Amino acid sequence: MNRERRKSLQEIADTLAELQEQLENLKYEEEEYRDNMPENLQASERYEKAETAVDAMESAAYSVSEAISYIETAQK
């Protein structure tokens, strides 16, 4: 692989890393929201939606991490 393609891949990996950080920050905010719900709402649809959002963002952040790993492998 030539230098130009490696550089392009690195730029993509850097962008993905920034997006992963944003996802993790949003996940953290949603976890805080969910965890601070009053007890009477913890069995509610609102709580379940927050839980689903947290799980989805966690999966998305993990997938982005895997993509970064694949890019790093391609750069070698």
What is the value of pTM for the model shown?
A: 0.86
What ranges do the domains of the chain cover?
3-75
- Give the contacts of 65 (CB within 8 A, at least 6 positions apart): 20
Query: What pLDDT, on a 0 to 100 scale, did the predictor assign at position 19?
Result: 97
pLDDT digits 0-9 by tens, 17-41 = 999 999 999 999 999 999 999 999 8
Summary mean pLDDT of the chain? 96
Sorting pLDDT into bands at 50, 70 and 90, what band is 76?
confident
Q: Considering just the CA atoms, what is the radius of gyration of the chain in Å?
A: 17
Q: Which residues of 22-61 are buried (b: 16+ CB within 10 A; e: fewer)?
A: ebbeebeebbeebeeeeeeeeeeeebeebeebbeebeebb
Segment 1-22, tens digit of pLDDT: 899 999 999 999 999 999 999 9
